[in-house]
Amino acid sequence: MPLIDPSELPARQPRPGWIGRFFHSDNMTFAYYEVAPHSEVHRHHHPQEEVWHIIEGELEMSIGDAVMVVRAGQAAVVPAGVEHSARANGPCRAIVVEHPLRQFVGGIDIR
């Protein structure tokens, strides 16, 4: 599957206010999110490294002990196994890439 149009993928809601469209390459999982204002992802950790690229809006993120606001055009790297959380300050769109592959997000099977 060399060409992916995320708008054609099924929308899934792994957390309230987080609408994601997911696909995989051989080694990475991609999530295209549209996030409702004030929606949150609780503090958690997992074995995948994540890179969050903010397309529109901004997220307040905690990564380990650091708290930061990540704005459109910026990216944040979450190392594997590090606790992190995110909260949308307004409407937001983000692309999250994870390595290695992830099978479940928020209890939803994304394979």
The domain spans of the chain are 9-82+92-102
Whether residue 43 contacts residue 37, with contact meaning beta carbons closer than 8 Å, is answered with no
pTM: 0.95
Yes or no: is domain 9-82+92-102 CATH 2.40.128.130?
no
Whether residue 10 contacts residue 50, with contact meaning beta carbons closer than 8 Å, is answered with no
- Mean per-residue pLDDT for 8-23? 97
For 27-78, what is each residue's pLDDT tens digit? 999 999 999 999 999 999 999 999 999 999 999 999 999 999 999 999 999 9
| The pair of three-digit structure tokens given for residue 92, joined into one six-digit string | 């937001």
Cα(92)–Cα(42) distance, rounded to whole angstroms? Answer: 17
Q: Give which of 32, 28, 26, 27 is closest to 14, Cα–Cα.
A: 32
